[in-house]
Amino acid sequence: MYVENRNDRYWALAAHLSIVLIPFLGPIVILILRANSQFVRQHALQALLFHLVFVVLMTISGWLVFLLIGFPMLLVFGLMGIYGTVRASVSALSERSCKYPITGNWI
């Protein structure tokens, strides 16, 4: 994917790494601030969708801890979240498009 401005890859990286501090707010703010860049928009939308799915999966797993099946799910989804975020961050810095493991081609 063509990047018009070299700083766009850092905006895309920030959208992916915002899951650590501000999962939903980060990609939304980046979408508003950098709406004119297709590269940043694509990465921010992917990150926003993944953050939403990730929070839902972790919440369901947290509820299932009471039935003892939530512990392995928390571990699997936690590792998947780390893997997906690192992979998407490397894609953003390499100026390539990314697809998260669970969300894939939803956007």
60-78 confidence digits (pLDDT tens): 999 998 888 888 999 999 9
Looking at residue 66, its pLDDT comes to 83
The mean per-residue pLDDT over the stretch 42-46 comes to: 91
Q: Is residue 18 part of a domain?
A: yes
98: pLDDT confidence band, cut at 50, 70 and 90? confident
Q: Is residue 47 part of a domain?
A: yes
Q: Is residue 102 part of a domain?
A: no
Q: Is residue 107 part of a domain?
A: no
Q: Is residue 3 part of a domain?
A: no
Q: Is residue 98 part of a domain?
A: no
C-beta of residue 58 within 8 angstroms of C-beta of residue 78: yes
Residue type at 35? A
Q: How distant, in Å, are the alpha carbons of 39, 41, 55, 100 from that of 5?
A: 10, 13, 31, 24
Q: Using CA of residue 96, residue 99, residue 105, residue 107, what is the dihedral sign?
A: negative
Asked if residue 13 has pLDDT above 90, the reply is: yes
| Number of domains comprising the chain | 1
